[in-house]
């Protein structure tokens, strides 16, 4: 193992096994020292400034070190070192120390200055620990954002010595030190064209071609090269090829997730890598229980990017273990987990319960993006969780300023979709109205329309904004650069317009032009209604024939002039006699029979969805006698029981006329 020696005089920059990072510059002329350091680190680091910061040694700084034998060395930002004999004794002692002790000490340091000060006290330093020091510097600097190193660290003599030695003799490094140093320097925004990075990459390529890198190092190298170059570089394909030849049983859970991340970066070649991915997906079932929350989040994200819908057993098992870690995810990790489950359509009651507990406990401190993801999850899977919805409503009332317009739209949609008014509904919609008045023009047009439509589903009608959304200027914004308005937007506008007529007769603003209206709310896609359950319909049809005597006395799937489609329509004359469905004269009453299958209710619930509630409300206002027949009331009835049930539901008298 190569060793770094931090000795008493100046850097012995040419002797890096690592014998002398702070040793014998005195053996080289000062001009040579200046030239070496000037040539190497000048363009190492790319900062956020227009021009990269240039690191140099100056003669003035070199003069701060005494070059006379026997004098004490006072390095910049470092302690005073003892005499040569003390160094020799320390050198012997350090060689006997376990490197793990240094790793533990490094992990407890919280700043780059502390890391550099710590390693400056070492006489000899294993190259793996030196690489670990770079890695720790990277970790502490990244806590403040993705940016380059500050100037004082770049100019630190200890830091420069470390980098210089990694550049000069990369062949002396162990595999782990080599790839760890490369990874850390890339994350610290080293110039890809610097000799430091070019030398390290060249050494990695040399060892890679010889097949001398272990699995873990291959994974680190692969991710580093993706950051440095691009997923399409040839050397990355060689790394993937070598990883394919390894037994997955030799991979740690961290290596498996790193492999997912590498393949995620090459998502455009997913078809080519699919056989390998199938093996990884199957093997990953055995390691899910050993994954940390961070690794679970990364694995799920990769599965989404790689569109691994066929890996359903893995997704289900991840869902099972995610439940145990809900409180331990960071906000970003939890958001990605929920995004993956939304993408794959996965949900279960245990996950919902865990989210309920987490959101109820921390709703006032959750990141707005996490809140919107939780609400999107409930909305997509039709999960009516009153605890979640009520907690989020309270969060919005207290902290509305934290949410972006798009997040507000995503947050509010489930209230209408799931047909739920929270306990603080008046405060919630008062706050929403104030936000809309203040920031109306900042909302994306489609998000705004979706938001206002959701409000109308639960009878919180956006009367103050209808004139704006029916205005040609807003409709032009809504259409954008498309040749016509998409059908979903037209359907939402049409239902809002119908609401303004039926439920808000006092509204006297602009009307929606006919060219923006749909002819039916029931379409194969973007439907404002849920199609009828034909299994239930067939049962009801037999019962109606038995009750009414013939099929001609009722019609099915009837499109009304008001865009809604009625499951079953029955016509009655003034005396209560049933008329044939083909008769249009002397119709006194129309019965709209709603055969509500499970799809018209919230998941695992008897709570009607918002779009079905507004349909029944509108049909009643249009003069229909609405008769609801939920699936849970009729699916277990015998034929005779069904006839009796229909008679009770449809007619108030005991005798039926036809």
Report pLDDT digits (tens) over 33-54.
333 333 433 333 333 333 332 3
Distance from C-alpha of 183 to C-alpha of 220, rounded to nearest angstrom = 7
Helix (H, G, I), strand (E, B) or coil at 117: helix
Residue 166: closest CA among 182, 153, 154:
182
Residues 6+ apart with CB under 8 A from 106: 115, 118, 129, 132, 133, 136
H helical segments located in 12-111: 30-39, 59-62, 84-95, 99-107
Residue 389 belongs to some domain of the structure = yes
Range with lowest mean pLDDT among 174-178, 503-507, 651-655: 651-655
Domain count along the chain? 4
**How many Cα atoms sit within 13 Å of 126 on the Cβ side?**
18
Residue 288: closest CA among 242, 321, 327, 328:
321
Structure tokens at 265: 């970066």
Residue 21 CB neighbours (<10 A): 28
Which of 277, 311, 346 terminates a domain? The answer is 346
446 burial level (CB within 10 Å; 0-12, 13-18, 19+): middle
Q: Is the pLDDT of residue 60 over 60?
A: no
Which of 311, 346, 381 terminates a domain? The answer is 346
- Residue 145: pLDDT band (50, 70, 90) is low
Residues 6+ apart with CB under 8 A from 269: none
Distance from C-alpha of 310 to C-alpha of 356, rounded to nearest angstrom = 29
Assess whether 85 and 136 both reside in one domain.
yes
Assess whether 374 and 324 both reside in one domain.
no
- Residues found in the chain: 658
Q: What is the mean pLDDT of the chain?
A: 82
140 burial level (CB within 10 Å; 0-12, 13-18, 19+): middle
Assess whether 509 and 619 both reside in one domain.
no
Structure tokens at 361: 């406990």
Residue 522 belongs to some domain of the structure = no
Assess whether 281 and 427 both reside in one domain.
no
Place of tokens 């995503």: 410
Is residue 102 a contact partner of residue 129, using CB atoms and an 8 Å limit? yes
pLDDT at residue 73 in the model = 31
H helical segments located in 363-441: 368-380, 386-399, 405-417, 425-439
pLDDT at residue 406 in the model = 94
- Residue 469: pLDDT band (50, 70, 90) is very high
Distance from C-alpha of 146 to C-alpha of 233, rounded to nearest angstrom = 24
Assess whether 207 and 87 both reside in one domain.
yes
Q: Is 17 left (phi over 0), alpha (psi -120 to 50) or beta?
A: alpha
- pLDDT cut 70: percent of the chain above it: 83
pLDDT at residue 484 in the model = 86
Q: Is the pLDDT of residue 14 over 60?
A: no
Distance from C-alpha of 178 to C-alpha of 185, rounded to nearest angstrom = 11
| 168-173 contacts at long range (C-beta below 8 A, 24 or more positions apart) | 168/13, 168/14, 168/16, 168/199, 169/2, 169/16, 169/17, 170/199, 170/200, 170/202, 170/203, 171/203, 172/2, 172/16, 172/17, 172/18, 172/127, 173/2, 173/127, 173/131, 173/203
Is residue 307 a contact partner of residue 270, using CB atoms and an 8 Å limit? yes
Assess whether 442 and 570 both reside in one domain.
no
Distance from C-alpha of 395 to C-alpha of 371, rounded to nearest angstrom = 9
- Residue 110: pLDDT band (50, 70, 90) is confident
Measure CA of the first residue to CA of the last residue in the chain; give whole Å: 99
Assess whether 507 and 560 both reside in one domain.
no
CA-only gyration radius of the chain, Å = 35
pLDDT at residue 99 in the model = 62
Residue 84 belongs to some domain of the structure = yes
Written as one string, the DSSP assignment of 213-264 is: --HHHHHHHHHHHHHHS-TT-HHHHHHHHHHHTS-GGG--HHHHHHHHHHHH
- Residue 186: pLDDT band (50, 70, 90) is confident
Assess whether 499 and 383 both reside in one domain.
yes
Residue 644 belongs to some domain of the structure = yes
Which of 449, 481, 516 terminates a domain? The answer is 516
Assess whether 425 and 466 both reside in one domain.
yes
pLDDT at residue 104 in the model = 78
Residue-wise pLDDT for 622-633, tens only, equals 999 999 999 999
Report the pLDDT averaged over residues 339-366.
93
Residue-wise pLDDT for 508-530, tens only, equals 999 999 999 999 999 877 789 99
Report the pLDDT averaged over residues 300-312.
95
Residue 140 belongs to some domain of the structure = yes
In Å, how far from its chain's centre is CA 351? 17
Relative to beta strand 589-596, strand 625-630 is parallel
pLDDT at residue 95 in the model = 44
Residue 223 belongs to some domain of the structure = no
Is residue 464 a contact partner of residue 433, using CB atoms and an 8 Å limit? yes
Assess whether 204 and 88 both reside in one domain.
yes
Peptide bond into 18 cis (omega under 30): yes
Residue 528: closest CA among 611, 620, 614, 417:
611
Residue 434 belongs to some domain of the structure = yes
Report the pLDDT averaged over residues 386-403.
96
pLDDT at residue 437 in the model = 94
Residue 374 belongs to some domain of the structure = yes
pLDDT at residue 98 in the model = 57
Assess whether 156 and 290 both reside in one domain.
no
* Planar angle of CA 163, 159, 72, nearest 5 degrees: 120
Assess whether 106 and 3 both reside in one domain.
yes
pLDDT at residue 654 in the model = 45
Question: How distant, in Å, are the alpha carbons of 249, 388, 488 from that of 379?
Answer: 40, 11, 17
Which residues form the domain of 462?
369-516
Q: pTM here?
A: 0.77
Residue 257 CB neighbours (<10 A): 24
Range with lowest mean pLDDT among 11-20, 185-194, 284-293, 393-402: 11-20
């Amino acid at each position: 193992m190569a060793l770094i020696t931090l000795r008493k005089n100046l850097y012995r920059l040419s002797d890096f096994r690592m014998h002398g990072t702070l040793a014998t510059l005195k053996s080289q002329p000062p001009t040579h020292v200046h030239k070496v350091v000037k040539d190497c680190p000048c363009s190492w680091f790319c900062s956020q400034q227009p021009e990269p910061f240039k690191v140099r040694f100056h003669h003035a700084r070199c003069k701060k070190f005494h070059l006379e034998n026997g004098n004490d060395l006072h390095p910049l930002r470092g302690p005073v070192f003892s005499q040569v004999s003390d160094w020799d004794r320390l050198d012997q002692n350090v060689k006997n120390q376990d490197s793990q002790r240094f790793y533990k000490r490094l992990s407890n340091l919280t700043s780059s200055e502390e890391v550099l000060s710590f390693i400056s006290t070492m006489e000899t330093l294993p190259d793996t620990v030196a690489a670990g020091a770079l890695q720790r510097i990277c970790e502490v600097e990244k806590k403040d954002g993705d940016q380059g190193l500050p100037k004082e660290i770049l100019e630190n003599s200890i830091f420069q010595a470390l980098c210089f030695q990694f550049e000069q003799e990369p062949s002396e490094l162990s595999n782990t030190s080599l790839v760890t140093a490369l990874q850390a320097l890339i994350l610290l925004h080293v110039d890809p064209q610097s000799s430091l990075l070019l030398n390290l990459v060249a050494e990695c390529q040399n060892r890679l071609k010889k097949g001398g890198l272990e699995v873990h190092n291959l994974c680190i190298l692969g991710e580093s090269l993706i950051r440095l170059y691009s997923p399409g570089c040839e050397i990355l394909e060689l790394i993937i090829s070598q990883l394919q030849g390894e037994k997955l049983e030799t991979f740690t859970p961290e290596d498996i997730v790193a492999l997912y991340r590498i393949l995620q970066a090459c998502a455009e070649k997913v078809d080519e890598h699919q056989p390998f991915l199938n093996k990884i997906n199957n093997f990953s079932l055995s390691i899910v229980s050993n994954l940390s929350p961070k690794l679970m989040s990364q694995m799920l994200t990769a599965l989404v990017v790689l569109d691994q819908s066929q890996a359903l057993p893995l997704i289900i098992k991840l869902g099972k273990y995610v439940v145990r870690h809900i409180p331990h995810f960071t906000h970003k990790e939890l958001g990605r987990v929920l995004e993956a489950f939304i993408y794959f359509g996965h949900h279960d009651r245990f996950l919902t319960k865990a989210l309920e507990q987490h959101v109820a406990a921390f709703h006032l401190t959750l990141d707005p993006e996490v809140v919107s993801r939780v609400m999107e999850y409930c909305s997509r899977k039709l999960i009516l969780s009153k605890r979640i919805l009520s907690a989020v409503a309270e969060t919005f009332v207290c902290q509305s300023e934290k949410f972006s317009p798009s997040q507000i739209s995503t947050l509010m949609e489930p209230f209408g979709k799931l047909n739920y008014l929270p306990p603080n509904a008046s405060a919630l919609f008062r706050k929403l109205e104030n936000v809309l008045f203040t920031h109306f023009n900042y909302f994306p047009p489609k998000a705004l329309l979706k938001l206002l439509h959701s409000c109308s589903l639960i009878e919180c009608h956006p009367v103050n904004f209808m004139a704006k959304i029916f205005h040609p200027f807003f409709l032009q914004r809504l259409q954008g650069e498309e040749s016509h308005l998409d059908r979903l937007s037209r359907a939402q506008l049409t239902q809002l317009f119908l609401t303004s007529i039926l439920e808000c007769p006092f509204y006297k603003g602009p009307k929606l032009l006919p060219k923006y209206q749909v002819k039916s709310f029931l379409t194969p896609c973007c439907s404002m209604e849920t199609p009828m359950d034909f299994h239930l319909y067939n049962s009801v049809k037999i019962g109606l024939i038995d009750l009414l005597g013939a099929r001609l006395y009722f019609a099915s799937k009837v499109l009304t002039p008001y865009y809604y489609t009625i499951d079953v329509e029955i016509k009655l004359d003034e005396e209560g006699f049933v008329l044939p469905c083909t008769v249009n004269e002397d119709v006194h009453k129309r019965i709209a029979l709603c055969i509500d299958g499970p799809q018209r209710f919230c998941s695992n619930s008897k709570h009607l969805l918002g779009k079905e509630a507004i349909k029944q409300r509108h049909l009643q206002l249009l003069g229909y006698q609405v008769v609801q027949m939920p699936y849970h009331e009729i699916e277990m009835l015998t034929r005779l029981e069904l006839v009796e049930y229909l008679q009770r539901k449809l007619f108030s008298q005991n005798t039926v006329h036809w």
